[in-house]
Structure 1
């Protein structure tokens, strides 16, 4: 199993828009495409309270490439993303890492 750690650094004040987009749009598209999320978090204490951190679970790098490419090209996603950003950008930048569990990790 491979986990993808993604941290969305939001434009100030736009975290609620990102959360709403995930809850009402993105997760439904992911479900249709077979993309599995392993959890979502907002920052309670840290360097910024304008971040969304989440994990995706992949069987392989090939699965990630196929499904993530399909997501980025999905007509519904393209349309809905544009609609949610009609008043301006909501994510300033994204940090992305692909992780593999250690042999002693509680997740596999």
Structure 2
């Protein structure tokens, strides 16, 4: 089992639209492609607002295959296109980290 941490820079001006798109569309489509989302957070610093979420995968190959299928999903492509027209860019910088547990890590 591996975990993936995704961190998106989001914008205060259209944050509600981002959350609506992720909640109402991305999560549903991700589930259809076999994503296992463990938790979601919003964080704020002095310079930016971020949305972070944690995924669980059986291995790196599965992670890569399922991300590829999600990104190629016609429904997701159309939702992103329409939301960009209505609200502009909803996501800025994206950080993607694969988390490998240490030998002394408690099990999730």
What's the TM-score, normalizing by structure 1? 0.89
CA distance in 1, matches of 2:106, 2:68: 29
Other-structure match for 1:20: 20
Which residues of structure 2 form unaligned runs of 5+?
none
Q: Which shows bigger deviation, 70-79 or 4-13?
A: 4-13
CA distance in 2, matches of 1:69, 1:107: 28
Alpha-carbon RMSD across the aligned residues, in angstroms, is 1.6
Other-structure match for 1:77: 76
Structure 1 28/12 Cα, relative in aligned 2: closer, same or farther at 3 Å? Answer: same
Aligned length: 107
* 1:72-102 Cα deviation digits (max 9, x unpaired): 0000100011111113111111011111112
What's the TM-score, normalizing by structure 2? 0.89
CA distance in 1, matches of 2:93, 2:107: 28
Q: Point out the structure with the larger helix share.
A: 2
